[in-house]
Structure 1
């Protein structure tokens, strides 16, 4: 009986060590595509504008709806870090519709997370200048929801939060919905979202939905994560104040 108990304990210890080791060694890459939410898609496509701007705004709306599904992104990650970047594709530079959709989707933005240091960096261009903006992961407050669905054969759980957007028009609250899987126990996701009990396989932020199409765990080829370092480094508060100042100057200059 004692021998049997010892064997059971040894097997349990071996299983626990294997699970721990698996979590520690997890690394890989997830490819995401994007689409417009159905209602939001309709609101953009069917929005009516005044005669003065109608042709221009109709062209912008149609370009976004037509091209939005064409963009792909890669999320590369290891145990502690991740980087989310758009996949650049060869495109006709004269295709203005594609370029407009690219700007709308902000394909050039780079999102970096470091779970150990609770650091989030966003590299983005604004008013013709490149910035690296530092955020704190603890700024995102998730609410875990008792809803599930299957994505790419992974059982996913729902979580929600609110994104606060501040601009010259005021302060806006926009809902964010994430679907994460505990079967991949890493705290990352699209667009710098994370800090959930598993990898985010689908994310809706404002008008866009990002959804996983390919998941590669522990591939033979090593995963290299490059921390964004090109651009002026600012805290989120410094960037907010800078944008207020630039917007004010532009308004005065009109």
Structure 2
């Protein structure tokens, strides 16, 4: 995780105005997810293996922008130019770090909305904000111009098993549920600053007495790289709309079924490529 501290933090901090009625902030976050995949032994050319690993890396490095006020926020992924030859690769290889859609939070009402596209269908997840049992600590560190305080929590996370996704058709699959997903309790470490007294943060994270500038789990680090208070170009913060309304539990079930289909399709395609031309 320490490797990400090389990022230049540009934190612009006019403290005056934070308590103003029309207060608004804009934070840019860089997110990087490590994916444990070993393609050794796969029957495919070395240049193909390198191409796959590069696509996985690109798909799991993303930049987001959080626009927030005292009670609401919207978290959007920044668009990046697709690299030549990538095709539809990132959508396949970004399974460990799904972008979803714009993540809207209303901490006053305790609800969130996120508009997701899943294989051509639009879903509107509308549910209660997840709450973590944060433990506030006394440890601090400097992030840009801010003193950040450490907080930790335990969270149950269920993720696609990338190793199973890359397993060829016909290989041993005694426990499909265990193969397709990995669920475990992980420690979440957040660094927040009381200098910006809003209960906001990247994605689903919130609930601390200050803006979350950095948050990590076992594989992902999300780090604030730029922060502007009361930007000249104000943006409207509003909840997304449209799509089929579902709860998070309902959406997870649908996504699980669709991912299983994608995994089977990929295994079949991968097997054909692996056994084809060199």
Assess same fold via TM > 0.5. Answer: yes
Secondary structure, in 3 states, of the residue corresponding to 1:190?
coil
Match of 2:198 among 157, 176, 186: 186
Tell me the CA shift for residue 218 of structure 1: 1.0
For the pair shown, which has the larger CA radius of gyration, 1 or 2? 1
State how far apart, in whole Å, the 2-side matches of 1:166 and 1:207 are.
11
Note the C-alpha offset of 1:163.
3.6
Aligned to 1:35: 32
- Cα deviation 1:170-199 (Å, max 9, x = unaligned): 533333221111100011111121111110
The alpha-carbon distance between structure 1 residues 68 and 137, as it changes in their structure 2 partners (threshold 3 A), is closer
What TM-score, normalized to structure 1?
Answer: 0.73
Match of 2:171 in 1: none
Contact 1:63 1:101 in 2 (8 A): no
Counterpart Cα distance in 1 of 2:242 and 2:44: 37
Moved more, 119-128 or 215-224: 119-128
2:19 corresponds to which of 4, 8, 22? 22
Larger helix proportion of the pair: 1
Match of 1:242 in 2: 254
Cα 1:184–1:101 change in 2 (3 A) is farther
The residue matched to 1:159 in structure 2 has which SS? strand
Partner of 1:195: 207
Matches within 5 A, 1:1-254: 22=19, 24-36=21-33, 40=34, 43-44=36-37, 47-52=38-43, 59-65=51-57, 68-69=60-61, 71-92=62-83, 94-96=85-87, 99=90, 103-104=94-95, 105-161=97-153, 162-165=155-158, 168-169=177-178, 171-243=183-255
Q: Give the drift of 1:20.
A: 10
What CA distance in whole angstroms lies between the structure 1 residues aligned with 2:121 and 2:251? 12
116-125 vs 169-178, greater mean Cα deviation:
169-178
Distance 1:166 1:35 in 2: 15
Q: For 1:26 and 1:192, how far apart are their aligned partners in 2?
A: 21
Give CA deviations for 1:175-233 in whole Å, capped at 9, x if unaligned. 32211111000111111211111101112244221111111111222221131213221
1:100 Cα deviation from its structure 2 partner: 5.2
Q: How far did 1:133 drift?
A: 1.5
Quick check: 1:67–1:97 contact (8 Å CA) kept in 2?
A: no
Gaps of 5+ in 2: 1-14, 161-176, 269-278
Could you tell me how far 1:93 is from its partner in structure 2? Answer: 5.8
Which sections of structure 1, spanning at least 5 residues, go unmatched? 1-17
